[in-house]
């Protein structure tokens, strides 16, 4: 700095000092106000939005990709992109330690290097240009951090090449031009700072454009394997019931009642002991139950369910099943209100619909066997369409036909396969449904299998017209006369 410049700066400083505000209490007071506001916003966010829970850690899950918090994602991605550099990319500590340390060090020595006396932005082009490129590249790296960078033996894929460009090549070139032109700026004068300005703008824009292309052509991320994360006990019990219905009902029955197994390959005729009994619940801790489900009882015919042993259930999912068993079967525990996903009861004269009644019913009592990969005469019940159309002997339900095969079977009669002549057993094979559920399915078929509650309501006879066997309304609704 030249002497006269120093003088003017000092003078300006003196004037500013005289009319300026004091650090204590003026500035501190402003700081306090702002931090109080942020604090209140945080409390409100935590109270009303919260952070969704993640599934329990599962050491057996090899597909899990650990990721840092969002504010470190840019470094995470930087490492991935840096790893694409031939040879140098193998030396990880350069990207994880040396470069970040260098950047922090630069911040420390910046006041010593940047002796520019001006504060107005038009006089600080170089610093602003570098910062613009730096911030843009942080944002860009964060945004593309979810997209995988891969390189095989054949070199980078086009996708990776683009990421390499926007994450590393463009910003480095921009820094070189900006810093380089500052050395020449004495000679270049105005041209120098213009060059810097336009390098910053051009570099940032091209990073954004390339990143945009990367995002557009990136294959959509595969949905994560973990289907549900239940946070409250109520949610866990309901999730557990669904998982139990899907995985366990075929052998253990809808309520863990056991009995003679029928319809399960390899266990035909096996007399299964009840697992909902006091005997079972009082002698098995949650941990033991979890272990049994996870490891199975292979010598008795129950395959392992835990992912660690080759099954399909995660640790959290097994915990949910155990919570369901404990809270619905153990008479010492009190189930929280609302934690049972019940099948809604029918009112007299009401027509059941798939959405409200039939889907929860079959999910609970039939889907364990009637889904893909099970022995079931190819009759699937996981959707409305499947329930109406699939099955070796389809159609199994015909609107208004009480002799439909499905109704015959759930009433405890056997059927006969017209093609093979094989006997089709009562359904469910082990224990017949409660009569009220047989009635529900029958009424649904008789009414024409409505899908939505709205369709069902339209089919329901008006109470005054046909009080079908049920309780007639105490007071007939008067019809208004014009």
Contacts with ligand HEC by CB under 6 A lie at 244, 247-252, 263-264, 267, 272-273, 275, 280, 284, 289, 292-293, 297, 300-302, 305, 321, 362, 365-366, 368-370, 375-377, 379, 391-394, 396, 405-406, 409-410, 424-425, 427-429, 433
Burial class for 250, CB neighbours closer than 10 Å (0-12, 13-18, 19+): buried
Q: Which is nearer to ligand HEC, 82 or 365 (CB)?
A: 365
Closest CA to 23 of 31, 11, 14: 31
| Beta carbon of residue 389, minimum distance to ligand HEC (angstroms, whole number) | 11
> Distance between CA 375 and CA 368 in Å, rounded?
10
Q: Which is nearer to ligand HEC, 171 or 352 (CB)?
A: 352
Q: Which is nearer to ligand HEC, 210 or 323 (CB)?
A: 323
| Beta carbon of residue 232, minimum distance to ligand HEC (angstroms, whole number) | 21
| Beta carbon of residue 397, minimum distance to ligand HEC (angstroms, whole number) | 8
Q: Which is nearer to ligand HEC, 174 or 433 (CB)?
A: 433
Q: Which is nearer to ligand HEC, 192 or 429 (CB)?
A: 429
Q: Which is nearer to ligand HEC, 170 or 427 (CB)?
A: 427
> Distance between CA 242 and CA 342 in Å, rounded?
11
Q: Which is nearer to ligand HEC, 33 or 394 (CB)?
A: 394
N- to C-terminal Cα separation, the chain: 99
Closest CA to 170 of 196, 139, 134: 134
CB atoms under 10 Å from CB of 12, counted, come to 11
| Beta carbon of residue 455, minimum distance to ligand HEC (angstroms, whole number) | 21
| Beta carbon of residue 342, minimum distance to ligand HEC (angstroms, whole number) | 16
Cα atoms found within 13 Å of the Cα of residue 335, Cβ hemisphere only: 20
| Beta carbon of residue 344, minimum distance to ligand HEC (angstroms, whole number) | 17
Q: Which is nearer to ligand HEC, 233 or 267 (CB)?
A: 267
| Beta carbon of residue 421, minimum distance to ligand HEC (angstroms, whole number) | 12
Q: Which is nearer to ligand HEC, 174 or 366 (CB)?
A: 366
Q: Can you give the length of the chain in residues?
A: 482
> Distance between CA 134 and CA 140 in Å, rounded?
10
Output the furthest CA–CA distance in the chain (Å, rounded).
110
> Distance between CA 150 and CA 65 in Å, rounded?
14
Looking up tokens 């329901």, which residue turns up? 460
> Distance between CA 322 and CA 301 in Å, rounded?
20
> Distance between CA 42 and CA 142 in Å, rounded?
23
Rounded (5°) CA angle 54-56-57:
110
Burial class for 161, CB neighbours closer than 10 Å (0-12, 13-18, 19+): middle
| Beta carbon of residue 444, minimum distance to ligand HEC (angstroms, whole number) | 11
> Distance between CA 92 and CA 83 in Å, rounded?
7
CB atoms under 10 Å from CB of 348, counted, come to 12
| Beta carbon of residue 452, minimum distance to ligand HEC (angstroms, whole number) | 21
Q: Which is nearer to ligand HEC, 293 or 339 (CB)?
A: 293
| Beta carbon of residue 440, minimum distance to ligand HEC (angstroms, whole number) | 11
């Amino acid at each position: 700095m030249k002497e006269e410049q120093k003088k003017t700066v000092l003078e300006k400083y003196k004037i500013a000092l005289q009319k300026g505000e004091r650090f204590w209490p003026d500035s501190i007071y402003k700081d306090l106000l702002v931090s109080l506001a942020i604090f209140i916003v945080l409390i409100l966010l935590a109270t009303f939005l919260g952070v969704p829970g993640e599934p329990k850690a599962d050491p057996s899950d090899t597909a899990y990709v650990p990721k840092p918090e969002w504010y470190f994602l840019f470094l995470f991605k930087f490492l991935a992109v840096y790893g694409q550099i031939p040879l140098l990319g193998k030396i990880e500590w350069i990207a994880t330690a040396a470069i970040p340390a260098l950047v922090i060090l630069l911040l420390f020595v910046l006041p010593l290097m940047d002796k520019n006396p001006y504060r107005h932005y038009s006089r600080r082009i170089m610093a602003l240009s570098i910062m613009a490129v730096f911030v843009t590249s942080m944002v860009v790296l964060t945004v593309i951090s979810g997209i995988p960078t891969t390189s095989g033996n054949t070199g980078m894929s086009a996708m990776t090449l683009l990421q390499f460009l926007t994450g590393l090549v463009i910003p480095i070139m921009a820094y070189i031009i900006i810093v380089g032109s500052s050395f020449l700026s004495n000679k270049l004068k105005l041209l120098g700072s213009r060059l810097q300005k336009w390098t910053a703008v051009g570099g940032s824009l091209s990073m954004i454009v390339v990143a945009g292309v990367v995002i557009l052509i990136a294959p959509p991320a595969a949905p994560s394997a973990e289907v549900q994360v239940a946070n409250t006990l109520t949610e866990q019990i309901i999730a557990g019931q669904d998982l139990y219905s899907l995985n366990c009902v075929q052998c253990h029955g809808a309520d863990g009642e056991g009995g003679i197994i029928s319809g399960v390959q390899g266990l035909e005729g096996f007399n299964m002991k009840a697992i909902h009994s006091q005997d079972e619940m009082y002698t098995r801790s949650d941990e033991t139950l979890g272990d049994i489900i996870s490891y199975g009882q292979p010598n008795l015919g129950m395959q392992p369910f835990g992912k660690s042993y080759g099954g399909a259930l995660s640790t959290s999912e097994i915990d949910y099943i155990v919570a369901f068993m404990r809270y619905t079967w153990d008479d010492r525990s009190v189930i929280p209100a609302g934690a049972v996903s019940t099948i809604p009861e029918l009112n007299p004269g009401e027509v059941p619909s798939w959405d409200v009644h039939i889907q929860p019913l079959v999910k609970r009592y039939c889907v364990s066997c009637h889904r893909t990969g099970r022995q079931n005469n190819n009759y699937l019940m996981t959707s409305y369409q499947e329930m109406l159309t699939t099955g070796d002997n389809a159609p199994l339900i015909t609107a208004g036909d009480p002799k439909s095969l499905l109704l015959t079977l759930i009433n405890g009669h056997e059927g006969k396969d017209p093609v093979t002549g094989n006997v089709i057993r009562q359904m469910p094979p082990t224990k017949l449904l409660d009569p009220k559920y047989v009635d529900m399915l029958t009424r649904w078929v008789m009414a024409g299998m409505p899908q939505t509650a709205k369709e069902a309501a339209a089919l329901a006879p008006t109470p005054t017209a046909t009080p079908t066997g049920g309780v007639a309304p105490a007071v007939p609704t008067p019809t208004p006369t014009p």
